[in-house]
Amino acid sequence: MTCVLVASLAVMWVTPAPTAAAQSPSCDASCLSKSMADFLKAMTSGTPTSVPLTESAEIRENAKLVSLSDTTWKSVKSIKSVMTFADPVTGNVVSRAGVELANDKPGYISTRLKLVAGGRIADVELSADTSNHVVADYVWKLDPLFTTTLPPEQRMTRIDLEALARRYFHALSTHIPVVADFDEHCDRYHSGQRITNVKLNTVESSPPRTCPSSMEGNPPWGPATEQRFPIVDPEHGIVMGMTLLHYPKLPNQPKMYVSEVFKVIDGKIVKIDNIGLMLEGVTTLGFSH
């Protein structure tokens, strides 16, 4: 009886509140995707000054305020693979780009843009992994499953997709995942490293685990704060979420900037693409919306 009550309370806690009816978007999915393509072209061609920013644009890379010309994009030799997700309701567009850096090593860069009236960019949020943990075979050949359009019968509503992602982030705090939210073959990747359903992973130094079981037990992380879901795309079964994951049990209590893309088919998470970066001296991810 107690278990049932706790589970019920958890679901009630994470269900998002109703939002006001969406206004007709001034920039549809194609428009948002073009804005991202133009941004990537400007950044890889060395012309960041051509990016149409608002006067008060907030620009952050790995949670730190930076100028556009000082981001990791200045060290990118070429883009090997990219997938883009757009949400006309929120005005956000996100790209995940597997890149070759100037030193010939692979990197993985997530870029979120928030567009406002007139096609100008109010937010630029980058999560950039240039460590030795990036797996070239994954980031240079991103899985087309993420951008595959789902048939209507396999889709969830916007509200249900966001609720599922909120339950996932809630489980990062409680370590009690909703097992029914995951496909039995669900896999999670960190910058291309597969960390579920393998004998050993070098990211979490844990024995073989599934997507839900990897969140259980007594891990050193939690709670997950500053949760945001800028992309909810029922047509493709995509939710993107960001959160600041605290590690209170470790020395100096570091935090991890978590940027995850969930692929959801038939109401189940089938694949998770994560960029998780440990941060020192960071107290907030920024961006209040």
> Do 188 and 230 lie in a common domain?
yes
> Do 41 and 133 lie in a common domain?
yes
Does residue 285 lie within any of the structural domains? no
Q: Does the CA dihedral 13-247-113-156 come out positive or negative? A: negative
Asked if residues 280 and 252 have their Cβ atoms less than 8 Å apart, the reply is yes
Does residue 201 lie within any of the structural domains? yes
Asked if residues 203 and 133 have their Cβ atoms less than 8 Å apart, the reply is yes
Does residue 212 lie within any of the structural domains? yes
Does residue 250 lie within any of the structural domains? yes
> Do 242 and 179 lie in a common domain?
yes
CB within 8 Å of 124: residues ≥ 6 apart: 51, 53, 57, 58, 59, 60, 68, 111, 112, 113
pLDDT of residue 277: 97
Q: What is the CATH number of the domain that holds 162?
A: 3.10.450.50
> Do 129 and 204 lie in a common domain?
no
Both tokens of residue 247?
Answer: 């590690």
pLDDT of residue 250: 87
Which domain range does residue 176 map to? Answer: 150-279
pLDDT of residue 219: 86
Gap between the Cα atoms of 248 and 221, Å rounded: 7
Does residue 16 lie within any of the structural domains? no
Domain count across the chain: 2
Gap between the Cα atoms of 107 and 102, Å rounded: 10
What pLDDT band is residue 7 in, cutting at 50, 70 and 90? Answer: very low
**pTM for the full predicted model:** 0.89
Gap between the Cα atoms of 187 and 34, Å rounded: 30
> Do 226 and 207 lie in a common domain?
yes
Query: DSSP character for 181?
Result: G
Higher pLDDT residue, 281 or 284?
Answer: 284
What pLDDT band is residue 201 in, cutting at 50, 70 and 90? Answer: low
Q: What angle do CA 94, 89, 142 make, to 5 degrees?
A: 25
Which of 142, 161, 189 is the last residue before a domain boundary? 142
> Do 176 and 268 lie in a common domain?
yes
Asked if residues 135 and 106 have their Cβ atoms less than 8 Å apart, the reply is yes
Does residue 13 lie within any of the structural domains? no
Asked if residues 146 and 238 have their Cβ atoms less than 8 Å apart, the reply is yes
Gap between the Cα atoms of 205 and 193, Å rounded: 12
- Is 90 exceeded by the pLDDT of residue 34? yes
Q: Which of 104, 112, 56 is nearest to 86 (CA)?
A: 112
